[in-house]
Amino acid sequence: MDKGRVEFLRKCVDTISPSGFEEEISRIWRAEADKFSDRTWADVNGNAYAVINEGGSPRIMLAGHMDEIGLMITYIDDKGFLSFAPIGGWDPQVLPGQRVRIRGKKGVTIGVVGRKPIHLLEAEERKKVVKFDGLWIDIGAKDKKDAEKHISIGDPAVLDYEFTPLLNDLAAARAFDDRVGAFVVLEAARLASKMNPKAAIYAVGTVQEEIGLRGAHTSAFGIDPQVGIAVDVGFATDTPGMGTEKKKVGDIAMGKGPMIARGPNINPKLFDLLVSTAKKEKIPYQVEGAPRGTGTDANAIQLTRAGVATGLISIPNRYMHSPCEVVHLGDLENIAKLIAHTVASIDDKTDFIPS
């Protein structure tokens, strides 16, 4: 991946934007889209849009959610310590001892997640999974009044991790789920804009996926697409301890290309088109079995209005919903390329009725 694309990706994943607080990433995403799209805009829920070949047919929606899991400040005690609640699905075991970045009234405040030291835990306590009400955030405040100069109830927070390149084209970051999806759909639209597409291509950075696919529901209703492709992260199973998980989610490896989902959430003809395009363009791919409605924006898009021919492409991801998610940068490039070539081949004659 060239340096400019990596820097844009870095800016995306380092931004503090948990579910319901996506304003900053929306501005960054739309500013990048302004460089090549017909127009960009945001809606009342915060979804970000960029359209290519507006007025073309059919309408194709590409969706990647911009939000991430996070924390919300819910209480400030008399000594200035902060209580918090999860935004999205957390494993609370990763939180003790972490640094956090709180987006407050005076900008970003750094804090640390505190817990009673292990030396002072009873034997039975040590065996139990930590609960949120047994944790707090310490920002170094003298008291409640001091804390309230910087923090308000409802402020969002994320763990203090940044984009970090690893060996062999891998990278680690806090918010790859699913900032990389929002990145990829924009890259796919950028590539497709140079391919003389017949379709109108709507790239959407959706909001609030982590708390119920909310942005995909409203944005898909507004666009009323005939075709939709969601991009999210999926479980890589190439790490220690994941051998038995292959029976559940498949044999998925980093750097081996897009995960193309197949199942009832997926239009079979669109699946076939994605696979045939991958073969034609010599793009490596992996098939993911999805035997029910997926927990992704593809679910919401498929069931919009009278139904949408929907596909799901996932990015292999290690350590999902942790502060050190890992993806392969080559996979991102291949997914953008696959989507761009696929949508560029679709016109009004393309039939997606299962037969």
**Among all residues, which ones are annotated catalytic?**
209
DSSP letter for 167, please: S
Placement of tokens 């170094």 in the chain: 140
Given CA atoms 347, 316, 230, 219 in this order, what sign does their dihedral have?
negative
Cα–Cα distance measured from residue 52 to residue 65, given in angstroms and rounded to the nearest whole number = 19
By CB neighbour count within 10 A (0-12 exposed, 13-18 middle, 19+ buried), where does 324 fall? middle
Terminal Cα-to-Cα distance of the chain (whole angstroms):
39
Q: Which of 151, 198, 166 is nearest to 326 (CA)?
A: 166
Cα–Cα distance measured from residue 28 to residue 23, given in angstroms and rounded to the nearest whole number = 9
Non-local CB neighbours of 9 within 8 Å, separated by 6+ positions: 1, 163, 179, 180, 183, 329, 332
Q: Which of 69, 355, 66 is nearest to 232 (CA)?
A: 66
Instruction: Say if strands 59-65 and 227-235 run parallel, antiparallel, or are unpaired.
Output: parallel
Cα–Cα distance measured from residue 351 to residue 355, given in angstroms and rounded to the nearest whole number = 10
C-alpha to C-alpha distances, 242 to 95, 138, 215, 250, 313, nearest whole angstrom: 23, 35, 32, 10, 21
